A = this chain, B = another copy of it.
Amino acid sequence: MDLPKITDSEREVMKLLWEKSPQTANEIIAVLSAKMQWSEQTIKTFLNRLHNKKAIRFEKDSRSYLYYPLVTEDSYYCAENKSFLYRVYDGAVGMLFSRFLEDEMLTDEEIEDLSKLLEKKRKSLEKKD
């Protein structure tokens, strides 16, 4: 049941489908050929590969095909996060966070939001004591 490996390019297709599903090949091709400068054929390849690895499925509705994600956004991001965390940081979440913070890639607002998130998280943990 482990998630199929999704490449950078394929992820762009998944993002579209997570945003809205189902979508026809046409819609997907329209968006991605503009956004990513991919040829129609290239996008078809990604759809096909995603289908082969069971990350998406499609239904045939007469002449148009409707695509649905099979891998959920949540499970994907969770896996991707874990993979990054372990590959790059050997699992040290603290290091990851502090590096992101140090590199000053956050606006005041983002820091505010994060504080709130953390506060909430801390409270939800306290309850369990």
Contact = CB atoms under 8 A, between A and B. Distances in A.
B117 A111 contact: no
B88 A80 contact: yes
A2 interface: no
A84 to B, nearest CB: 6
A82 interface: yes
In the complex, the count of this chain's copies comes to 2
A99 B77 contact: yes
Given A81-B103, A87-B8, A100-B81, A118 B114 contact: yes
A106 interface: yes
A30 interface: no
A77 B82 CA distance: 16
Nearest to A109: B94
A77 B95 CA distance: 10
A93 B100 contact: yes
Nearest to A76: B88
A85 B104 CA distance: 13
Interface of A: 8, 11, 15, 77-78, 80-82, 84-85, 87-88, 90, 93-94, 96-101, 103, 105-106, 108, 110-111, 113-115, 117-118, 121-122, 125
